Amino acid sequence: MSKAKTSSRRDVTARVLAAILGGYALAYAATAFLSVYLPLVRSDRVVFASLSCFAVYTLAILYAFAARSALQAWLVLIGATVLMALAAYLPGDFGVRP
């Protein structure tokens, strides 16, 4: 009984950390990604990207608690964060940096 309770606490703690830290990282990467690739004027891109990061953060939090396991939540959040960050920061052809 106590072992299951401990693993449940670990799972909840891992999900909370994934929601807070992983969600924040994903929102940051999404903001950078959108501020580079949206087909708008630069100032509009930055405003839209900054405002949409709140929706991305909320969705990341919801996903962290809806995922099958805490490990899956971490992997998906980290994977999406890395992909968006690489797409935002690697190409220098556009002359635009987030």
pTM: 0.83
Whether residue 5 lies inside any domain: the answer is no
Whether residue 86 lies inside any domain: the answer is yes
Whether residue 11 lies inside any domain: the answer is no
Whether residue 12 lies inside any domain: the answer is no
- How far, in Å, CA of 60 to CA of 25, rounded? 10
Whether residue 83 lies inside any domain: the answer is yes
In sequence order, which residues have a C-beta less than 8 Å from that of residue 79 and are 6 or more positions away? none
Whether residue 20 lies inside any domain: the answer is no
Which residues constitute the domain of residue 40?
25-92
Alpha helices in 1-98 (DSSP H): 2-17, 23-37, 42-66, 70-89
41-98 tens-digit pLDDT: 989 999 999 999 999 999 999 999 999 999 999 999 999 999 999 998 887 665 556 5
- For 68, half-sphere exposure in the C-beta direction (CA atoms, 13 angstrom radius) is 3
Total domains, the chain: 1
- Decide if 28 contacts 53 (C-beta within 8 A): yes
Whether residue 65 lies inside any domain: the answer is yes
